[in-house]
Amino acid sequence: MSRSDPTWLGRYQRAMNNQAYNGQRFIEDITAKRREARRDHVNGQAPDALHLETMRDLNIASTDAPSMEPMQLSPFEALFLNTLECLEVRDSDHHICSHAELWQLLAASSKQADEFALKYAAYFYYRTRGWTVKSGIKFGADFILYSKGGPSNSHAQYSVIVRRQDTRGTVDESWQYMFALSRVCSQVRKALIVCYVDRPTAENVSGIHDHMEATAPDLTEFQINEFLIERFNPNRK
């Protein structure tokens, strides 16, 4: 579901020729234009037919801006883009946060601070290998992986759960648990990957055990072990 305010009432009033809504434009109008442009492009029309409307074409007043859907980045996305110097983060006092300050802020705000470094190591691992990594919370996983092109071109191929290397064989990793998770993945046409992250020792990276440390861990010290889990179907030839 969209996180922006619903527009169905305004679109209905416009369709009923309500004078108060005549000429008003909505986000759905942009979507319809883009789909039409894509169809025209597929049918061989000139590239200039792909000219798409932008948010400025909606003539939205500044008072309506808070109701629009903003771009939302996960903590892992923000850290990754900040590492590449593609994202500048400012605090409430408009101070530009360094990478170490951003790490400290996000790790401290995490509900599972001790797992934050492990999941970011897994996120970094997949992003640097060309995958588009998104949250997998809808499928009971930590991440889902899209191939080249991202969510706009295809569905995710893999669901990923991240675990510490020293938790292999614990209750959470029982076959009953894994079978249930694998069943969910198969229903949504995704393969399940269990990503075990071997954390470095405390003397190498103290910030992992104390998330309030100002220094982000060295990701080259982490080791990743992946296991692809497939559900066995005896009726399948």
Residue positions annotated with a catalytic role? 146, 155, 190
Q: Write the single-letter amino acid at 19.
A: Q
Closest CA to 89 of 77, 128, 4: 77
Cα–Cα distance measured from residue 30 to residue 51, given in angstroms and rounded to the nearest whole number: 11
Identity of residue 115: E
CA atoms within 13 A on the CB side of 152: 5
Gap between the Cα atoms of 225 and 165, Å rounded: 8
Residue whose token pair is 């000139």? 46
Distance from C-alpha of 171 to C-alpha of 189, rounded to nearest angstrom? 26
Q: With H, G, I as helix, E, B as strand and everything else as coil, classify residue 160.
A: strand
Q: Tell me the C-alpha distance between 49 and 41, whole Å.
A: 7
C-beta neighbour count of 229 within 10 angstroms: 15
